[in-house]
């Protein structure tokens, strides 16, 4: 399959607070699908991460899972999304005992819609990948807060504090 790098290198349109969050329906861990619209009337923390079972992604997923009850008490659902397969997500959930929903966007259409599929650079090599980003989406489907260039350690706690502040 031929890649259209010209399309990928166009400026990325990032979403901002006040923007309507793009709806999606994707396969999820454990089978079935997950849609943003499934949680109408609830807050949604939608966090994008590069790859299952890597250090930073594991820290983030374990921390969000550890705070799942606190998020639930605030009427908030947590969804993690990466381009990994459902099988990879299932293995990640089992290995790390995760309780968050993991959506699989192998086609990268939702990653692109949210502006997180970006050109990155490591050791002088350019490549396409997920920019670790989190969106807090209000009960009305509008983005309330964004976190970009996320550092995994302590991130889940910061998101929980923001959910509390949103009331």
Positions marked active-site: 57
Quote the radius of gyration of the chain (alpha carbons, Å). Answer: 15
- Give the whole-angstrom CA distance, residue 27 versus residue 23: 14
How would DSSP label each residue in the chain? ----HHHHTSPP----TTSBPPP-EEEBTTSSEEEGGGGTTSEEEEEE-S-TTSHHHHHHHHHHHHTHHHHHHTTEEEEEEESS-HHHHHHHHHHHT--SEEEE-TT-HHHHHTT-EEEEEETTEEEEEE--EEEEE-TTSBEEEEE-S--STTHHHHHHHHHHHH-
């Amino acid at each position: 399959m031929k890649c259209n790098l010209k399309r990928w290198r166009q400026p990325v349109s990032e979403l901002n607070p006040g923007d309507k969050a793009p709806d999606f329906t994707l396969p999820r861990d454990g089978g079935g699908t997950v849609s943003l619209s499934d949680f109408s009337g609830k807050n949604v923390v939608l966090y994008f991460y590069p790859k299952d079972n890597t250090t930073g992604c594991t820290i983030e997923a374990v921390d969000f899972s550890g705070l799942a009850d606190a998020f639930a008490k605030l009427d908030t659902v947590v969804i993690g999304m990466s381009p990994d397969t459902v099988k990879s997500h299932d293995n990640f959930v089992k290995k790390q005992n995760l309780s968050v929903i993991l959506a699989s966007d192998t086609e990268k259409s939702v990653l692109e819609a949210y502006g997180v599929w970006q050109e990155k650079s490591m050791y002088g090599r350019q490549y396409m990948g997920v920019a670790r980003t989190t969106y807090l989406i209000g009960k009305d489907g509008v983005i309330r807060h964004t976190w970009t260039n996320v550092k995994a350690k302590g991130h889940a706690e910061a998101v929980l504090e923001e959910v509390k502040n949103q009331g």
